Amino acid sequence: MTATKDEFRTAVAALPAGVAVVTTTWRRTVWAMTVSSVTSVSLEPALLLFSVHGDARMRDALDEVDTWTLSVLGADQGPVADWLASPGRPAVDQLARVPHHASTEASGVRLDRAAAWFECRTHAIHPAGDHDLVVGEVLVAERGPADTGGLVHLDGRLRDVR
């Protein structure tokens, strides 16, 4: 016996999850998406994991681009998370209203005022149901200011953590 989709969704809503944005540059466009499935995988080598829906535009980009940047959102970046998670947002210039700057080693951009940044090279992609697990080798890891706080997804809402 397995849990139903509704049972799983209701129970997993109690699991607090950090919120981040993954970006990459593909076909001369910066692509971005909000994720709440980030986890540290390994210290040696440094590996980070996030999941992406199999039908997402970001998933298509990851087939052709091997580096990406992950910005861990700060406590005040709920509107950014909401915007980059909204279905139907334009593919072009989706970061026009989101302050950001160039990544140093990887494709994509770093979001300003983030709590931390990780620039990664795809190490592996594993199918997992309707999502794929993207494991990245961390090329650059940098912490933002300590007072930035963080953003957590819990019970279907974004909550700031300071």
Whole-number Å distance between alpha carbons of 43 and 48: 9
Note the pTM of the prediction, 2 decimals.
Answer: 0.96
* Residue at 94 is within a domain: yes
Residue range 71-84: mean pLDDT, rounded: 98
* Residue at 91 is within a domain: yes
* Residue at 105 is within a domain: yes
* Residue at 64 is within a domain: yes
What's the one-letter identity of residue 131? H
* Residue at 158 is within a domain: no
Quick check: bond before 45 cis, omega within 30? yes
For 100, half-sphere exposure in the C-beta direction (CA atoms, 13 angstrom radius) is 28
With a CB cutoff of 8 Å and minimum separation 6, the contacts of 39 are 48, 49, 50
* Structural domain boundaries enclosing 43: 18-153
pLDDT in tens, 142-160: 999 999 999 999 999 999 9
User: Which CATH number covers residue 39?
Assistant: 2.30.110.10
What's the one-letter identity of residue 127? P
Report which DSSP code applies to 3. -
* Residue at 44 is within a domain: yes
* Among 112, 108, 94, CA closest to 50: 108
pLDDT in tens, 26-65: 999 999 999 999 999 999 999 999 999 999 999 999 999 9
* Residue at 2 is within a domain: no
Residue 88: pLDDT over 90: no
How many separate domains does the chain show?
A: 1
pLDDT given for residue 69 in this prediction: 98
| Mean pLDDT over the full length of the chain | 96
